[in-house]
Structures are given as structure tokens and as C-alpha cells.
Amino acid sequence: MLKKFFHQFASPKSYFRIATKIQNPFLLIFVLLYVFALAWGLLFTPEDYVQGNSYRIIFMHVPASFVSQILFLIMAFCSVIFLVWRLKLSIYVAKSIAPIGAAVTFFALFSGSIWGIPTWGTWWQWDARITSTLILLIMYLGLISLHSSFNNYEKADRFFAIIVLAGVINIPIIKKSVDWWSTLHQSASITLTDAPSIDPLMLAPLFLSIFSFFGLIMGIVILSSRYEILLREQSKSWVKSL
Amino acid sequence: MGGHGIYVWIVVIVLFTTLLLLILNFALRINRLVKEIKTFSQIKDN
């Protein structure tokens, strides 16, 4: 029964129908939640003792950085499913994540640069965290151009999945870079083992902004994956009957 | 919001512009593709 459920959900047609129904309410809920979290963080939290108001970029920069890495992990998960079980839907979703991942990573770097101007006195530094995040952006862009360079979808999908799995090593490097090397970028304020070093008044809107931004981006992934499915399955009768 | 608040608002504007462009990009692509599929289907039927 579980196998039947899995195979039903894993069909592009079923996924498309479910995605179409949930997309708009999903996006609306998380947009409103993120706007609330942002308003909370930008307007109702106290100033930082050292950084003043510029620290408030944290409510955009940290969610973006977190989501940019999570998206690559999701791509890697989908790539494994595709290579092992040959499920078309998994590679459609993986491929649809790439442009969104690139945009979010670019924003993470941009917001970090803007934050760096008042904080570090520079908008760029070749430190481990920033450089490895730049590599992540280059990987996203490289994957997009790799896929579009093939005439054959089968080959494009296979190479895409393999390169994603090769590149996923960058994610733990980004995560641990602030511990392994002496970096300008600060080390983690929130860890699994120690109490957070951020004041609770700032921590609550930060957690909410991370959660709601992730939901918002997943809503955009649903939208993007619907497009990818329509593109790939356009010759099928169920698409023509839409 | 005084002091370095201007940097925060620049980031807010870029963030929402990026999100809006992302959503519009895919929504418009879906609309165009659905129209193309329907048009092609009608031509084929005729």
C-alpha cells in the first residue's frame, strides 16, 4: 500500500495536481508570515549594542544563507532518488530548484556584502565562509548552464544529478568553514550543543524569519517545478487536457 | 531607524524585488507554455 501511495505521488501528473491546489495558499501563508517576522525584527527588536541598526540585516541574510544550503541538499537528495530509482519527478524538482538556489545564494552574498560595509569596513573579503558561498553560487549557475547545454534530456538529467552529488561536499565546508579556519565571518551563534549567544528578543524573530523564508522559497519551488513538469510532459495527453 | 538603517532598507528592497521577479518569472512562463500547448493542440485537431 505504501509502495502504491509512493508511486502515485511520484507521478508527475499527481504531483502537478496536488502542487496546483496547494501552491497559492502555501505561498500566501508564508509570504504573510515572513512579512510579519521581518516587521517584528526590523521594527520591534532593540538595537544591537555594537552594530546599532545594521544588525537587522540578520533577519534576511541568515534565512537566505540557510535556505541556499538547504536547497542544494534537497537537490542532492532528489539526484540520489533519480540515479537509483530513475524517478522522473525527482530530477524535474531538482532541476527546478537550481535557478531559485542561485537567486537565494546571490541575495545571501549581496546582503552579507551590504552588512559588511558598516560592520567590517569592507563589502568583500576572501574568507572561507564567503568564498565557499561564492563557490555555491557558481555551482548553481554552472548546473543551470550544464543542463541547458545538452540537446538530450536524458543525458542532461544524468550529468546534472552526478555533478550535484559531486558538489554537495561544499555544504559541510560552508557550514564548518568558520570553525576550521580563522575567518572574518563570525562563528555560529546558534548551535546544537551550546546555548545561543543571541539575545532571546532577537532570537525569536530570527527563528520565525528562517522558518517562514524557507516556506516561502518552497512555495516558489512548487511553482517552478510545475513549470518544469509542463515543459517536460507537454506531449502527454493529461497536459493537453489542462 | 537611524544610523546605518539605510543599509537595512536597501537589503529589504533588493530582497522583495528578487522574490517578486522569481515568482513572476515562473508564473508568466507557465501561462505562456499553457497557451502554446493549447494553441498547438487546437492546430493539430483542426
Q: Please report the ipTM that was assigned to this predicted complex.
A: 0.89
**How far separated are the first and last CA of chain B, in Å rounded?**
64
Identify whether the C-beta of residue A111 lies closer than 8 Å to the C-beta of residue A180: no
Residue ranges per structural domain of chain B: 1-46
Q: What is the pLDDT of residue A170?
A: 94
Chain A residues with CB-CB distance to B21 below 8 A: 103
- Identify the CA nearest to A176 among candidates A191, A155, A158, A156: A191
How confident is the model over A94-106, as a mean pLDDT? Answer: 97
Residue ranges per structural domain of chain A: 65-188+197-233
Identify whether the C-beta of residue A37 lies closer than 8 Å to the C-beta of residue A45: no
Chain B residues with CB-CB distance to A106 below 8 A: 18
User: What are the Cα distances from residue A215, in Å, to A27, A75, B14?
Assistant: 8, 16, 19
Q: What is the pLDDT of residues A39-91, one digit of tens each?
A: 999 999 988 888 888 889 999 999 999 999 999 999 999 999 999 999 999 99
Chain B contact residues (CB < 8 Å to A): 1-5, 7-8, 10-12, 14-15, 18-19, 21-23, 26-27, 29-30, 33-34, 37-38, 41
Q: Residue A93: what are its φ and ψ, rounded to 5°?
A: -65, -45
Identify whether the C-beta of residue B44 lies closer than 8 Å to the C-beta of residue A158: no
Contacts of A163 (CB under 8 A, 6+ apart): A142, A143, A146
Q: What is the pLDDT of residue B5?
A: 83
- Is residue A9 predicted with pLDDT exceeding 60? yes
Q: Which of B1, B6, B8, B44 should be substituted to probe chain A, the one whose Cβ sees the most A Cβ atoms within 10 Å?
A: B8
How confident is the model over A141-154, as a mean pLDDT? Answer: 95
Band of the pLDDT at A195, cuts 50, 70, 90?
A: low
How confident is the model over A202-206, as a mean pLDDT? Answer: 91
Band of the pLDDT at A196, cuts 50, 70, 90?
A: low
How confident is the model over A167-189, as a mean pLDDT? Answer: 83
Radius of gyration of chain B (CA): 20
